[in-house]
């Protein structure tokens, strides 16, 4: 055990969710940025008793969104976000949960966050409630709600070499791995 490295946190494991080529690029050549047919949802194990590995969930019948991650590619970058949102800094009772806990974000639309024509970030809008979330920070456009953003790694299939950027190379098909973003501190 290394005294300078803290023990691994629960949920820190990486999960393979498929090859980058299986995630069609949304918004690259068309104006339709709806993600329902072009994304995948996965149920991720949360305890040691759960079966290992990510299990693909049916987008049309999402069921319990609590432990699902939504994975998609938007304008060349692979993103992974929770299928539900939560308020910052406090635990919620079911009555206080964000409205997205009962409506899947896989039915939402993607968009660029711009300022005077300069693209600053990307976001997702819930088609039922019209709330928007930043895909990089998770911050909502109103209130203290925050969408949980997952870490994404692209790896070469034959080796264990990793690419930390979410940019997808067109020459080599990469494996897409996701994990819950780790808290620092």
User: Tokens 């997952």 correspond to what residue?
Assistant: 150
> Which helix H or strand E contains 123, and what residues bound it?
strand 118-125
Q: What is the pTM of this model?
A: 0.75
Q: Is residue 114 part of a domain?
A: no
- The number of folded domains in the chain is 1
62 assigned to some structural domain: yes
Amino acid 142: pLDDT: 81
**Mean pLDDT within 64-91:** 74
65 against 6, higher pLDDT: 65
50: containing domain: 9-87+101-107+149-158+171-180
- Give the pLDDT confidence of 105-129 residue by residue, as tens digits: 888 888 998 899 898 999 988 887 8
């Amino acid at each position: 055990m290394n005294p300078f490295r803290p023990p691994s946190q629960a949920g820190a494991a990486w999960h393979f969710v498929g090859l980058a080529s299986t995630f069609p690029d949304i918004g690259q050549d068309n104006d339709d940025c709806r993600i329902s047919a072009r994304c995948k949802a996965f149920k991720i194990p949360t305890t040691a008793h759960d079966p290992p590995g990510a299990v693909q969930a049916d987008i049309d019948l999402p069921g319990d969104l609590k432990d699902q991650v939504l994975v998609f590619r938007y304008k060349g970058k692979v993103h992974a976000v929770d299928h539900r949102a939560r308020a910052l800094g406090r635990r919620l009772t079911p009555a206080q949960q964000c409205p997205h806990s009962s409506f899947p974000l896989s039915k939402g639309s993607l968009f660029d966050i711009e300022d005077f024509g300069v693209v600053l970030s990307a976001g997702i809008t819930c088609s039922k409630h019209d709330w928007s979330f930043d895909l990089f920070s998770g911050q909502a456009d109103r209130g203290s709600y925050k969408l949980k953003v997952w870490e994404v790694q692209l790896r070469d299939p034959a080796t264990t070499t990793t690419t930390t950027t979410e940019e997808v190379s067109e020459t080599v098909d990469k494996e897409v791995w996701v994990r819950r973003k780790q808290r620092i501190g």
